[in-house]
Amino acid sequence: MKHTTEETAPEISISVVSHAQIHLIKHLLQDIHQYCGKSFIEIILTLNLNEHVPFITESFSFPVKIIRNPHPLGFATNHNQAFANSSGHFFCVMNPDIRLNGNPFSTLLECLKNSSIALAAPLVLGPNGEIEDSARRFPTPLKILCKAVGGCKGNDYPINIDQVFPDWVGGMFMLFPRSIYKLSGGFNEQYFLYYEDVDLCARLKLKGYKIALCPKARVIHFAHRSSRHNFRYLKWHLTSMMRFFSSPVFIKIFWLSLKKDK
């Protein structure tokens, strides 16, 4: 077996998890092949449910490692497992419903040259070109209540061409230096689905790092918003929300925000 060395390790390992979404992942891999083929990339594809892979992995310009779970795992566990099986200098978490119309990595890697930045994310657009609110301030019970009654609409941060340093970014596309993902311990596996991204960003902020949204890098997100239509997903969403609000991480972040406002 050939061992990966520092010289032969890929620049970026991309973790994608399929929940019977292999048809979406086929299009995503074709996008990566088309727009990022010259980059040194590897794909860690996790099949969280038993499904047939309808493409030949060798047909792409990058290696595709496939992990088949014997039973479904949560978002955090799946991506941490992928990280353990990756070797890239950078680790990227990407949703199956992301599409590319260009190479976002050159801009994101440029953002990460700033050693104070632990995580870089692209501007996320909806299918019609609308800007999604993927860069947000940390949630609070009051803010959640405000949204629930139809208030607090719009993006938390003004978006132009300059970098934005939000509290957190959505987990549909996150790029980390490998060393920082390892230092953070990765996603908290006590969360099964939802709020893993909030929790990890909060822990990185508590370590003194910045989260960066780099608007010159752009991706398209075909979001399904399952928690709005499925009771099981809604239950997971509410459970994760309560777990975060009762966690020491939230208490520390909330306390720091109060001190800043004084």
pLDDT along the chain (262 residues), means of 10: 58 97 96 90 97 94 96 97 98 98 96 98 95 93 84 84 95 98 97 95 97 97 68 87 96 84 56
pLDDT of residue 229: 62
Q: What is the pTM of this model?
A: 0.92
CA-to-CA dists, residue 61 to 16, 27, 260, angstroms: 17, 14, 48
- Reading the block at residue 82, the tokens are 């992928």
Torsion, CA 174, CA 76, CA 238, CA 243, rounded to 10: -110
For the domain 12-261, what is the CATH code? Answer: 3.90.550.10
Instruction: Name every residue whose Cβ is closer than 8 Å to that of residue 251 and which is 6 or more positions away in sequence.
Output: none
Q: What's the 3-state SS for the chain?
A: CCCCCCCCCCCEEEEEEECCCHHHHHHHHHHHHHHHCCCCEEEEEEECCCCCCCCCHHHCCCCEEEEECCCCCCHHHHHHHHHHCCCCCEEEEECCCEECCCCCHHHHHHHCCCCCEEEEEEEEECCCCCECCCEECCCCHHHHHHHHCCCCCCCCCCCCCCCECCCEECCCEEEEEHHHHHHHCCCCCCCCCCCHHHHHHHHHHHCCCEEEEEEEEEEEECCCCHHHCCHHHHHHHHHHHHHHHCCHHHHHHHHHHHHHHC
pLDDT of residue 37: 77
pLDDT of residue 227: 47
In angstroms, the CA 93 to CA 195 distance is: 15
Domain ranges of the chain: 12-261
